[in-house]
Amino acid sequence: MTTTSRGPNDRLGALLTQAQISNAGLARRVNDLGAQRGLTLRYDKTSVARWVSKGMVPQGAVPHLIATAIGGKLGRPVPLEEIGLGDTDPTPELGLAFPREVADAVRSATDLWRVDLELRRGPGGGRWSDGLAGTFSVAAYATPVSRWLISPADGSVARQETPPGPVAALPTARTAGFRVGQSDAAKLREAAQEARRWDSKYGGGDWRSSMVPECLRLEAAPLLLASYSDAVGRALFGATAELTRLAGWMAFDTGQHEAAQRYYIQALRLARAAADVPLGGYVLASMSLQASYRGFAEEAVDLAQAALERNRGLATARTMSFFHLVEARAQARAANGPACATALAAAESALERSRAGDPDPAWIDFYAYDRLAADAAECFRDLGVPTKVRQFTREALARPTEGFVRSHGLRLVVSAMAEAEAGNLDAAVEAGERAVDVAGRISSQRSREYLLEMVRLLEPFQGEQRVRELTERARGVLAQ
């Protein structure tokens, strides 16, 4: 990581002496902490000597890792100011906290929304800073999940204060003394539903998707800082939790896992303030899918099971079916075939019990048998059962997917790969061509990665002209 210099850092040197940590010892601790976050760091005693004697400032998350390493030796928290690094980039820890108090939760969420919007409008052009790249750590979910499991609902969330001065300066902020009503929360839920439709149709990278963080910053934040009753507050926190989870899902879809993780944690905290246990379970399911995608299968199983455990007797059959399906995905990634089969059976059984008149939440409207079949196909792909992959993929594609363009495209890719592995090149090329058409119309990093996997799988068949033509078309989309 790059560094800047600003003269000797006497504070850091003094604290190292107090903590009785050698330069080599600090470097080793920082490297280890970085590895836990997915960072590859190679600091040594010379690096630490430069931090102290020359005031070199490591960028990104490293100042926080230094504070954590020293704090671990001292047995107490160490703020950045105490080690002379208080003016470094504040974003590495942003959004990772799961505060116990509602007021602190509001502050944690609104800080994340503000900084994200600033980053989107800045030189990064919609991407998170280089200092945050690669800082996804599945371990960061441990404290939020345990606190949510212990107590998935807060006490009263009523608020009587009026918005402070800086909030009142926002373009859409309410006037002093404004009291939030149910209609305000309803508008945020409508915004979430509309954004979900755009995301499914055009992908998380579509320009309209960037409107979700903007809505959170300019519309939701002033409402959270206004006055409301407990009942209205619950509705307001639920709506903002939906929007925040969706912002995380869109970041996940575009490959910005560090941002997605922070949004998911804040969404879970807001769902707790809303006393909405099923919504909290939905956030946990989203975390599980991300953990599976990132290769943390065992942790993904834990996250899915946490969603299930707290929702027994609370969530609708359709919602529980989805949670079981997410567990099946994680069990398949963990190569646990029997556990995957059990979870799939539970998902199918629960879905069969669901009825049109059930009080399903609006956010589960995407889920039906076609989604179950599509995910079952991916489970069997991970488990290496190609006949089941083809069976469930065909069942998924046989059902209408109007409005769910990205999902349809992913299913086509899986179908193309399954047919190619079975030696059915005609069917593989047909599905692949349709998948390329879809991928060219949406903005989704996940779709591109699926397409790239298809191209790699087709490499042994490049002697066939139809396969070469398909591969060329796919690479053209990937190059865009």
Name the nearest CA neighbour of 273 among 94, 92, 107, 96. 107
Tokens representing 68 are: 């954590």
* Each residue's pLDDT tens digit, 20-29: 999 999 999 8
The structure tokens 């929702």 sit at 311
H or E stretch including 4?
Answer: strand 3-4
* Each residue's pLDDT tens digit, 62-96: 887 898 889 888 878 787 788 888 766 556 678 99
Claim to verify: residue 19 and residue 111 sit in the same structural domain? no
Claim to verify: residue 120 and residue 154 sit in the same structural domain? yes
Claim to verify: residue 246 and residue 170 sit in the same structural domain? yes
Q: Which CATH number characterizes residue 390's domain?
A: 1.25.40.10
Determine the structural domain holding residue 330 and report its residue range.
Answer: 276-355
Claim to verify: residue 181 and residue 298 sit in the same structural domain? no
Tokens representing 198 are: 């755009």
**Domain termination site, one of 54, 83, 112:** 83
**Residue 165: per-residue pLDDT:** 45
How many residues does this entry show for the chain?
Answer: 480
Return the number of other C-beta atoms located less than 10 Å from residue 17's C-beta: 9
Claim to verify: residue 114 and residue 257 sit in the same structural domain? yes
Which residue type is seen at 71?
G
Claim to verify: residue 269 and residue 155 sit in the same structural domain? yes
113 in any annotated domain:
yes
13 in any annotated domain:
yes
* Each residue's pLDDT tens digit, 281-291: 999 999 999 99
| Paired residues of 159 in beta bridges | 228
Cα–Cα–Cα angle for 95, 149, 154, rounded to 5 degrees: 70
111 in any annotated domain:
yes
Claim to verify: residue 320 and residue 248 sit in the same structural domain? no
Q: Which phi and psi angles does 58 have, rounded to 5°?
A: -70, 145
Q: Which CATH number characterizes residue 25's domain?
A: 1.10.260
Could you tell me what percent of the chain has a pLDDT over 70?
A: 86
**Residue 34: per-residue pLDDT:** 74
What string of DSSP letters covers 37-94? Answer: TT------HHHHHHHHHT--EE-TTHHHHHHHHHHHHHTS---GGGGT-TTS-S-TTT
pLDDT: which is higher, 58 or 10: 10
**Residue 172: per-residue pLDDT:** 43
SS3 269: helix
Q: Taking each helix axis from N to C terminus, what angle separates 277-293 and 142-150, rounded to the nearest 10 degrees? A: 160
What string of DSSP letters covers 277-308? Answer: HHHHHHHHHHHHHHHHHTT-HHHHHHHHHHHH
Q: How far apart are CA 169 and CA 190, in angstroms?
A: 25
* DSSP assigned state of 136: -
How many domains in the chain? Answer: 4
Tokens representing 282 are: 């939905």
322 sits in the region (left: phi over 0; alpha: psi -120 to 50; else beta) called alpha
* Each residue's pLDDT tens digit, 99-141: 999 999 999 999 999 887 776 665 445 455 444 445 678 888 9
Claim to verify: residue 476 and residue 396 sit in the same structural domain? yes
310 in any annotated domain:
yes
146 in any annotated domain:
yes
Between 142-151, 248-257, 347-356, the lowest mean confidence (pLDDT) is in 248-257
* Each residue's pLDDT tens digit, 384-416: 999 999 999 999 998 766 678 889 999 999 999
Return the number of other C-beta atoms located less than 10 Å from residue 473's C-beta: 16
360 in any annotated domain:
no
Claim to verify: residue 107 and residue 219 sit in the same structural domain? yes
**Residue 206: per-residue pLDDT:** 62
Tokens representing 2 are: 């790059």
Could you tell me what percent of the chain has a pLDDT over 90?
A: 65
* Each residue's pLDDT tens digit, 226-279: 999 999 999 999 999 999 999 999 989 988 888 899 999 999 999 999 999 999
Claim to verify: residue 13 and residue 154 sit in the same structural domain? no
154 in any annotated domain:
yes
**Residue 208: per-residue pLDDT:** 56
69 in any annotated domain:
yes
Checking if the pLDDT of 204 tops 90, the result is no
* DSSP assigned state of 210: G
**Domain termination site, one of 330, 355, 380:** 355
**Residue 287: per-residue pLDDT:** 98
Checking if the pLDDT of 173 tops 70, the result is no
Max CA separation in the chain (angstroms): 72
Claim to verify: residue 154 and residue 298 sit in the same structural domain? no
Cα 80 to chain centroid, rounded = 27
Claim to verify: residue 106 and residue 196 sit in the same structural domain? yes
**Domain termination site, one of 83, 117, 145:** 83
